[in-house]
Structure formats: C-alpha cells, structure tokens
Chain A
Amino acid sequence: MSKSYSNAIDLIYNKRFRSIFFQITLLISVILFFLWVANNANSNLTARGDSFGFGFLNNTAGFQILPTLGTWVVSYDVGKSTYFDVFLIGIINTFIIAITGIIATTIIGFSIGIFRLSNNIILKGFATIYIEMFRNLPLLLHLFFWYFAVLRVLPGKREKVNLLGESFGINITGLYGPRPIFNEGWEFIALGILFSIILVIIFSRYAKRIHQQTGYKYPTFWISSGIIILIPCSICLIYSLLYNLPIEIQYPEFKTDGPKLKRGYAQGIGMMMPPEMLALWMALVLYTASFIAEIVRAGILAIHKGQTEASYAVGLGRGETLRLVVIPQALRVIVPPLTSQYLNLTKNSSLAVAIAYPELVSIFAGTALNQVGQEIEIIFMMAMVYLTFSLLTSLFMNWFNSRIKLVER
C-alpha cells in the first residue's frame, strides 16, 4: 500500500489524521464556547453598567461578622476592614473547621470502624446502627437537627450547663472553655517545641539505623515523648522562675450575681465557640465519621488472614503484628479514600451558609456578593480556594501513594 497522501480518500483513511482532526475540532468548539460565554457576559455587564475587575476588594465592608477565630486573627472592624479581609476571614474560618473536624472525625471514624469488626455484639451493633443511620441521611438534615433541634433547647443566656467540671460550660450563646494567653516569652516555648521535634526526628532516624545494623532496639516511643514533654516544660519552668509565666490559661467567667442584664458569660474572656460553629462541627464530624468507619473496615478486611497467621508464625506478637504487618498494608487501601473524605469534609463545610456560620461561602459568596454584586470575580475566587485545596490534597495523596506503594520484586 502506498504511503503517499496525495488524495483526500487516503487522508480520511489515515488514523492519525483523523485523530488530529477530531481533536482540533473539539478544541476549537471549546474555545468558541468560551468566547461566546465571555462575549455574552461582557455585553450583559455593559448593559448593567458594571465592569470586570478585582478593585472592589479594597473597598471597606460595612457589615457585622460573628466573632470567630477569623475575625480575631484579621482583627475585623466594621467600616475599616476591606472585602479582602472578609475573604481572608472566610478562608480562616473554613480552615479551622476543616482542620479540627478532620482530626476529630478520624478518631471517631477509626474507633467505629474497629468496633464494627469486634466480636462483641454490643460494639458491633452500635457501630452498625451508627453507620447506617448517619450516612443515609443528608448532611444538611444533620446540620439543621443540631442547630435547630438540639442547640435551641440549651439553657438561655443567663444560665449554663457545666461540662467537665467548671472549666467548660455551654448555653445558647455558645460553648465556653479555657483559652491560653501568650505572655511575653512564649516564643521561647514555641522554639523549644520546634527544637524538640527536630531532636525526635534525628533520634528516631538514629535509632532505626542502629536497629537495622545491630538489632538493638531503643524504646523510641518513650524517649521521644520524654523529649517532647520535658524540653518545652523545662524551658517554661526556667523562664517563669526568671521572669514571668510565658503561657497562662484563662478560664471563662460566669457571673451569677450583679445586675440581671449583666449575668451570664462575660464576653472576650476565655474561648468561645459560637453555636453555629458547634452545630456545623458536630454535623460534619459525625457524618464524615460514618464514611471513614466503612473505609477503615474495608481496609482491614482487605488484608488476607494469611498475613496475620504468617506473622504469628514468624514469632511476632499481637501488637507487633498489627503495627508492622496489618496496619501498613491496610493503610495502603485506606488512605486514598480517606483523603477524599477529608476533602469532602472541607468542601461540605460550605453548608454553613444554611446556618450563617461565617465561612468562605457564607460571608464572601453570600453577604459580600449581595453587597458588591461582582458575581464572576467572587465565584471565581471562591472556586480557586477550593480548587487549590483539592489540588494540594491530591498532590499529598500521590506523594503518599508512591511512598507506601507495594514494591514488587
């Protein structure tokens, strides 16, 4: 068969040409679609007398935001802070929910997943009921349940319910707890913690090397925890003996006497978690935990029984079998879906808009968008934040996967 493409029929027969032709058509149609959209947007904006641009970020925002970690970090001030500050507050509040939520949901999810595999019928039954009940209901229903049904029946502003003694208390205005106060010199403690972490890393590497070379095992766990606890504590002790206490703990203040209107928790003392945040946190944590539990169960069940038996046969104990044989293999199955659950939790924190907890979607795409009306820019920025986060998560996942991947010989 001749290789020349002298006529059109030959060209049609050429697979490579067809693929290139198809792709170029696709690309052109996608580009044309976007141009059409941009053109429409442009004409619609001019018709409305608006223009595209991010200048609005420097304008001052004139609305109140519920006091949360974000407003505290940015030191938000109505009439002075800009829309960019609002954006930052949204990001910080999203992240604080995401990070604390991820930690809590991992603990609960792992426990329930392991309960479900237990041979104790009570634990197993509890785990099964929990999982089926929580993952078959919409998250928004969980959120409404916590916010409108549970937290609304809490005692009023002038009363409280104690949790864990006097240090924590809850009423309709929020959950109150102790807060660390950083006095002069707290930097030394931070440095001390950093230093001890570095020391622990160096030590565990050294211990591992010695273990591989000579077979001698240091009690790594005890020595590491000793380093982590002792060094910062001794720095704290020395500093407070020489100068002052670098870190104090401030307890919330509850007034039961005095003028009736001033009774209740004093504002700005101790740590306060607003009920919106509490409801969102509870809903997200308990909902995601049911998914994580299933992931953990599947991961552990995926490990062949022969692995456990073989490791008993070579003389490893129960704990060592779990730690050295089962968990590393189970993690390989667990981690990828686990990361996507973490991502889901972060994305689902946007449901806060339904109960007005001031996170990104709620204050930036909600309140700020209503006030400035720059829809394209605001939604673009918001999408970019979530996209960045999900990109970072998948980068981490790829790195982790390549680290724990099965090395076949």
Chain B
Amino acid sequence: MRNNNYKFVQKEVIAQQPPPLSQAGVTGWLWKNLFSSMSNFSSISAALQSIIMIILTFVLLYFCGGQLYSLIDFALISAVWSDPEVLKRGSCTTVDQGGSLPSGWSGACWPFIFAKKKLLIYGRYPAEELWRVNLVYLTLFLGIGYTLFEGAKGRQWTGLAMLTIFPLFALILLTGANFNISWSTNLLLLGLSILFIFFGELTRRNFLGNIISELTSLFYICGVTLFLIFIAALLLSIDYGLSYVETSDWGGLLVTLVVAITGIVASLPLGIILALGRRSNMPIARTISTIFIEFWRGIPLITVLFASSVLLPLFLPDGVDFNKLLRALIGVMLFSAAYMAEVVRGGLQAMPRGQFEGASAVGLSYFQSMRLIILPQALTHVIPGIVNTFIGLFKDTTLVLIIGLFDLLGQAQSTIADAYWSSPAQAPTAYLTVGIMFFVFCFGMSRYSMFMERKLSRGHK
C-alpha cells in the first residue's frame, strides 16, 4: 500500500485570496480606467502613445477642471444673490466700475435675472392677465408629464387631448378668443363635415361599391377633421370676457414654447404625408413630394423665416394679413415638416418588403395597411430620429429673434440692453440663464428618447 501522507500534499481547500490590488477597489478602478491607457512602454510606438496620453490627460484635467471651477465660481461662489438696497447696476459692479464690490471681482449677477424674471417667462404680456399664461403652462406640463409617465391610466387619451384640445384651449386663453368668424364659414364647415361623414358611412356599409369603400377612412378623416375645425371656429368666436392680447406682447419662454410646440405638432402629420408621397408608386406625387422636401431642406431656416416674413404678405391677396408670429409659425411648420418627412422615410425604407406584401395579402387597402401595419412599426423604428428633430426644432426657435420676435434668447438679448443693470456680468448671467433653460429641455428630451428606444426595442440587436 502506498503511503499518501506526503507533507507537500494539500489536504484542505485553501481560502480564497483577495484579488490583486491592481484589479480591485479604488486602485483597480483607477488602473482600469486611467492608467492602463498610459502605461504601455513595450515598444517605441506604444511608449509614444502612452506619453501622448499622459500629456493629454494632464492638459485636459487642468483645462477642464479649471473651466468647471470657474463656471461654478462664477455661477455660485462669487455670484451676487440679492440686491436689498435696490442699487441695480451698483450691486453687480466693482469699485472702479462705480459699484461696491472689490475690484477684480467677477461673478453672476442674479438680482438682474430676478428683476427680469417676468420678461423672460412671459414677455410683455399684461401683468393682470398672467394667470392665463400660467394656466396654459400648468396644463401643458401636467399633460405632458402625465402622458410621459409610465403606467399612468389613460395616457393615450391624455396624449390625444394634448394634441387636439390643448392647442385650442391655449389659443383661446392666450389670445382671448372672440375672433370675428362669419356664420357662413361655420355653416360651410359643418355642412362639409356632415357630407364627408355621410359618405364615409355609406361606403362603410358598401352602398357605393367595393372599390370606393377603400376610401372610407379618407372620408372619415376629412369629415372628422372638418368637424373639429368647425368646433374650433365656433369656440374661437365666442366672447369669454377675456381681453384681447396682441401676439406682439408675447415673449420669452412663451414664444419659444408656442413656436416649438406648433412646429412639433404640425410637423409629424405633414411629414408623414410627405414621406408617404415620396415613397409612393405614383411618379407625379413622388416628384412633387421630393421637390418640396429637398427645397426646404436645402435652405437655411433663416432664409425661410426671412421669406415668410417678407414674401408671405406679397404672395397673399390684398387685404389678407397675418401677424408676425403666425408668419414665422408657417415657415417653421413647413421647414420642420420636410425634416420630419426624411426621418419618417428612413423608417419606411427600413421596413422589410414582406410587411407591405403581407398587408396586401390579407386584403388591407393602402390606407388600412399604412395605418395598421406599416406606420406603427416604421415610426417606432425612428423614434430617436423624431426626437432629434424635435430637439433641433426647439433649439432653432431662437432664430425667430432675427425677424423681430422676442423668444427666450431674444428677450434675454433685449434685457442686456437695459442700462440700469449695465455691468460686465450682465451678458454672461443672461446667457447662463437661457442656456440652463434650453439645456434642461433638450437634455430631458434626449434622455426620454433613449429611454423609449430601450423600452420599444424588440431585441433585434
């Protein structure tokens, strides 16, 4: 029998060792994320790369840290927060500039922003009517918040209401309604809508032959749209006892949101129609959509705004005049529709042919297959693109200041001209405020789109 009782044979399991220092804890993390990129000196080129990395890291650390510190210092630490003696510009200027702060001081001048708060958020909207704007803001944020909230009951209906009822509600509250809409127009709208719905009903029951029944949904859409327009016209012509507020008195965040939301709401349906036109088999419809899309995409938004403010009055019959805001809105709508059309077209092109063929194989008409099969999938595919277009549009609303509308940035720019607050800190503070507001909106939108993308992905990747 062999004696297995050697001294060097391990008899019990050794306890687990802690991982090497270079791979665990803070050192490990630092090693993995910082030093591993700059510690390879095995060959000349690797060493060169490591040295470049070291230099770059230090330069960036110095630069980035310095910039961040000076931003925080400017915005928080050195900033002036209150102006109890109502000195205005005196509270934010140094001794040699005629103020009270030590020379060499530099920081944000928040009392200036507090004083201009109303202008930045409402523009020159009459002070006693501000509750109207507040109500609109409140409904907007509650509605959007509820629609976006995961698992909220009836969020589709809230979303639909935000797209249909809310714009009307906002229009009535913000302008004061009581528009002069003639009875004949109202009756015409009502008559047409009833006619369309009647036709839709007839075709649905197959009274007019099979082929026409393909147009059922079209008839219904036209009828319902006209009916909604009729209701809107009716509601807008009622006197609610609200005083009329000119759009030239709107400003700041209000104009930014009005322009952006109108563009966003209008661009999606228009864009879908254009994209379907561009993907259609009919050569003339395709050409017209393509020309439209490429024309608007080829010119800068400023040109569009210039054209809509200068050319629109020229192209309309004598006597028809839009106000400046509406002209800008029309330009922004058409412009963003063209961009949206390209995004939607991307989604349509990504659809496999089988989906189109399957839809026609089960006997769906063109409109039905688009509504039920193609568009839901295509639009889901391109949600990031759609949100990116929204973000772009939201940022581009600032351009309306060039045709003399006061959006958030335009309003900030005009407050900078206020001599009572004139100080070197004035412009940076105003831009910082506007920047933070835009950043919150845009960053929020992009994060939500990423979240949606993850939620809606069907695991194709």
Contact = CB atoms under 8 A, between A and B. Distances in A.
Interface of A: 9, 12-13, 18-19, 22-24, 26-27, 30, 37, 40-41, 43-45, 47, 118-123, 125-126, 129, 132-133, 135-141, 144-145, 148-149, 152-153, 319, 347-348, 350-351, 353-354, 361, 365, 369, 375-376, 379, 382-383, 386-387, 389-391
B314 interface: yes
Given A119-B32, A120-B37, A354-B402, A137 B298 contact: no
A353 B303 CA distance: 11
28 contacts: A12-B211, A19-B281, A19-B282, A23-B284, A26-B284, A26-B285, A26-B288, A37-B315, A40-B315, A41-B314, A118-B37, A119-B37, A120-B34, A120-B37, A120-B57, A122-B64, A136-B443, A136-B446, A138-B395, A139-B395, A141-B438, A145-B431, A149-B431, A365-B306, A375-B311, A379-B311, A383-B307, A386-B299
Given A22-B285, A23-B283, A119-B37, A383 B303 contact: yes
B337 interface: no
A376 B399 CA distance: 21
B442 A137 contact: yes
The residue in A22, A376, A383, A386 that gathers the most chain B C-beta atoms within 10 A of its C-beta is A383
A379 B37 contact: no
B387 to A, nearest CB: 12
Contacts of A44: 313-314, 318
B318 A137 contact: no
B151 to A, nearest CB: 28
Given A12-B211, A23-B285, A27-B288, 10 more contacts: A13-B209, A119-B37, A121-B33, A123-B57, A138-B438, A140-B409, A148-B427, A153-B424, A383-B307, A389-B298
In the A-B complex, list the 8 residue pairs whose CB atoms are closest, starting with the nearest: A347-B300, A136-B442, A390-B298, A138-B395, A23-B284, A121-B33, A350-B300, A387-B298
Contacts of B302: 350-351, 353, 361
A13 to B, nearest CB: 5
A353 B305 CA distance: 12
A187 B424 CA distance: 50
Contacts of A120: 33-34, 37-38, 53, 57
Nearest to A45: B314
A30 B284 CA distance: 11
A389 B299 CA distance: 9
Given A136-B439, A137-B395, A354-B402, A391 B311 contact: no
A9 B209 CA distance: 9
A210 to B, nearest CB: 26
A125 B33 CA distance: 11
Nearest to B283: A23
Contacts of B33: 119-121
A12 B210 CA distance: 10
Given A23-B282, A26-B285, A141-B398, A361 B310 contact: no
Residue from A43, A47, A350 having most chain B Cβ neighbours under 10 A: A350
A41 B57 contact: no
Contact of B435 (A122, A141, A347): A141
A149 B74 CA distance: 13
B83 interface: no
B277 to A, nearest CB: 9
B297 interface: yes
Nearest to A348: B300
Contact of B282 (A22, A41, A369): A22
Contacts of B453: none
Nearest to B410: A140
A43 B396 contact: no
Given A122-B57, A148-B416, A379-B311, A141 B299 contact: no
Contacts of A40: 314-318
Given A47-B318, A122-B34, A386 B303 contact: yes
B434 interface: yes
A251 to B, nearest CB: 28
Contacts of B64: 122, 125-126, 129
Contacts of A9: 209
B283 A351 contact: no
Interface in B6-58: 32-34, 36-38, 45, 53, 56-57
Contact of B303 (A43, A138, A382): A382
A376 B32 CA distance: 62
A129 B32 CA distance: 21
Contacts of B298: 383, 386-387, 389-391
A13 B211 contact: yes
B36 A119 contact: yes
A43 B318 contact: yes
A131 B376 CA distance: 31
A145 B442 CA distance: 18
Contacts of A12: 209, 211-212
Interface in B413-450: 413, 416, 424, 427-428, 431, 434-435, 438-439, 442-443, 446
B315 to A, nearest CB: 5
Contacts of A30: 288
A333 to B, nearest CB: 14
B320 to A, nearest CB: 9
Given A27-B284, A120-B37, A350-B303, A136 B314 contact: no
Contacts of A135: 442
Nearest to A15: B211
Given A26-B285, A361-B300, A137 B439 contact: yes
